[in-house]
Structure 1
Amino acid sequence: MKRATLCPERLLPEHAVPPPWPGRAVRLDGVVTYVRDTPATSPDAEPALYVHGLGGSSQNWTDLAGLLAGRLDGQAIDLPGFGRSEPGHRYTVPAFAERVVRWIEHSGRGPVHLFGNSLGGAVSVRVAALRPDLVRTLTLVSPALPFLDFRRSVQGRMLPLLALPRAERVAAWRLTQLAPELLAQQVMEACVADLSRICDQRRQEAIEEIRIRYEAEHYAAAYVRTLRGLVSCFLRAYLPGAGSLWRLARTVRAPTLVVGGLQDRLVDVRVAPQTARAIPDSRLLMLHGVGHVAQLEVPRVVARAVLGLLGETGESARRHDLAG
């Protein structure tokens, strides 16, 4: 593990607030997966894939994907049951990883620069470990790798709900009790350390995303079942077996950037450094005063770290070619 390198600020595009990138519904294995494309602004841009966290969507990557469009030809997908994708049959980290692998294979764009936030980080670690042929570099933002002290997460208060036989119905009922504006505010307060960094346009988009959830009958079940699957994955990580996410992390060979926020309220702040220590070729960036979604809260800082990673790995590749 080493410290992440930040490229100069001048290498980034000027400040802008792009609208959500255009999306399309793609039927894959009989199920609709929704994907947003961030067009590259350079002819030699390389393919990238962005994977959101629990309760999120492809819109969580709008700003970062735009900032990186000079180097990366981006796609962001909605995982099954979230955003505008149809529900899936299973809501586990392995099932989501299979969907990401299938998308990369279907799109024919691999290997990709793979990005994951929170749950998407756990999914991306599994993909990078089991299918190294599909991953050029790996960027993890507050990855939800296993930790056992659930007091360090505001979602810990939901754990008793998971034990109820009708947890999905309870969650669906709870959704109906909150106005979209209030729920969006609560979500942002949980995910973002400094709400002044979130512009009005992003707030309005978050409210619209909440309205979409209200209209999707499957959403509450998808959320509860995914949280249940994530907790199960956490517990299995500390038991014998090849499927432990920590064991898989130690097998990742892709050059990796790990970004963590020291004000993260959803994932134990010790997880990001632990992830960087586990992955052999890793770089760590810990951000003061930043929460769970650094790519939303401080996208320019994250973009500078990503460009630092790409610059470093590109130079290593050139040296290798010259040596050969």
Structure 2
Amino acid sequence: MGAVALPFVRPLLVRARRTQAVPAGPPLADAATLPPHDPHRATWPGGEVTSGGVTLHVRETPGHGDTPAVYVHGLSGSATNWTDLAGLLATRAPGTAVDLPGFGLSRPLASRDYSPAGHADALLCFLAGRGRPVHLLGNSFGGAVALTVAARRPELVRTLTLVSPAMPDLRPDPRRVSDWKLLVAMLPLVGRRARSELAAMDPRTRAEQIVRLCFGDPAIAPEHRVAEAAAELAVRARLAWAHEAAERTGKAMVAGWLRGESLWSVAARVQAPTLVVWGERDRLVAPRLAARTAAALQRSRLLVLRGVGHVAQIEAPEAVARAVAGMWDAVEAGTWEEPG
């Protein structure tokens, strides 16, 4: 069985463990049941919200549905990474896109704990304070955080969507060579010089470099989204904690990998129906991990998108929305467990 095919999406079979088959593709919602995609949609309004003793800056998407959606960005990302997808899913769920502590416009926690476990603790408390289960979606580092929350507090997570989650992988990948500076900057000891050089870049240049690293086809990145990213980087450069949060979070994540801390065992404990989405051209988290990640989860389906990079929710929001909405509909109908 392979990932589902769309007109611009082809199945990609990625070898999992020898004894594991590639999980089935997800059911897809009819595109007519989703609102039209507005590529020029402005970012959703934001503000600070305190829940469960944790204060985060969030962006709220008004919508309809009994189960709200919560969106979690990746390393050095923010709530604005979900603008398009949250809009497409608003007819099924109101959305809350969070800025993790120290990222976006969220202030750091008093503990200054930027470890993956620290971020997961903060999100877990925030969700528990709201007192209702959610559809939880995470990209990259945010996917790893969401995975941990779902494993630790299953009653809080109705469904889980992981977009290129930051699963541990220390094997070299030749595709990353051209983007070595951003990658080296994440390393705990040797990345200091690369981090200094990145910090010295003007916001527009840095935004363009991030697009080149994260998009499968950087040429399709909308100009207004690049400009938004540059403006956000300029604002963050003036926040006293921004550099500390990005550096210490990246270092803590890689250090955990080096210590052998494994998300694979965490994934095995997740009970929620889970959609795994991966871009075939992901340069940050290797697509070879896609099938293994889905196979490690008990109730998962896998979607691999041709020509897409690390941020599928930005690069191919309509394809991702159809898969996510299809999962939500199938779970509601009790058909998620049926063979693909």
Instruction: Provide the TM-score with structure 2 as the length reference.
Output: 0.84
Displacement of 1:28 in angstroms is: 5.6
Deviation of the 1:276 alpha carbon: 0.1
Match of 2:216 among 193, 197, 211: 193
Tell me what 2:30 maps to: 8
Which letter does structure 2 place at the counterpart of 1:129?
A
Of 231, 249, 258, which residue of structure 2 is paired with 1:208? 231
Structure 2 SS opposite 1:207: helix
Q: Which of 270, 276, 297 is the matching residue for 1:258? A: 276
Instruction: Please identify which structure carries the higher helix content.
Output: 1
CA deviation profile, 1:16-47 (whole Å, cap 9, x unmatched): 1321111011346776410110000x3x3421
Q: Give matches, 1:5-154, under 5 Å.
A: 5-16=27-38, 17-27=40-50, 32-40=55-63, 42=64, 44-88=65-109, 89-108=112-131, 110-151=132-173, 153=176, 154=179
For the pair 1:300 / 2:324, whether they are aligned, the reply is no
1:231-270 matches, within 5 Å, as 231-237=254-260, 244-270=262-288
User: For the residues of structure 1 that align with 2:74 and 2:282, how far apart are their CA atoms?
Assistant: 14
| Aligned-pair CA distance for 1:230 | 0.8
Identity of aligned residues (%): 44
- Which deviates more, 170-179 or 276-285? 170-179
**CA offsets per residue over residues 256-290 of structure 1, 9 Å max, x none?**
00000010011111222211010010000001100
Displacement of 1:101: 0.8
- Amino acid aligned to 1:267: V
The residue number in structure 2 matching 1:158 is 185
Alpha carbons of 1:313 and 1:171: their partners in 2 closer, same or farther (altered >3 Å)? same
TM-score by length of 1: 0.88
What SS is found at the alignment partner of 1:113?
strand
Alignment of 1:311-322 (within 5 A): 311-316=329-334
> Alpha carbons of 1:318 and 1:184: their partners in 2 closer, same or farther (altered >3 Å)?
closer
**d(CA) in 2 for partners of 1:230, 1:195:** 26
Amino acid of the residue matched to residue 289 of structure 1?
A: G
**Unaligned stretches of 5+ residues in structure 2:** 1-22
Q: 2 CA distance for matches of 1:131 and 1:223?
A: 26
Q: What amino acid is aligned across from residue 13 of structure 1 in structure 2?
A: P
Whether the aligned pair in 2 keeps the contact of 1:194 and 1:290 (CA below 8 Å) is yes
Contact 1:97 1:124 in 2 (8 A): yes
- Measure, in 2, the Cα distance between the counterparts of 1:86 and 1:294: 27
Q: Which is further off, 200-209 or 171-180?
A: 171-180
Q: 1:85-115, CA deviations, whole angstroms, 9 ceiling, x for partnerless residues? A: 012311111111111111112233x210000
Give the secondary structure class of the aligned counterpart of 1:125: helix
Gaps of 5+ in 1: 238-242, 320-324
Question: How far has the Cα of 1:9 moved from its partner?
Answer: 1.9
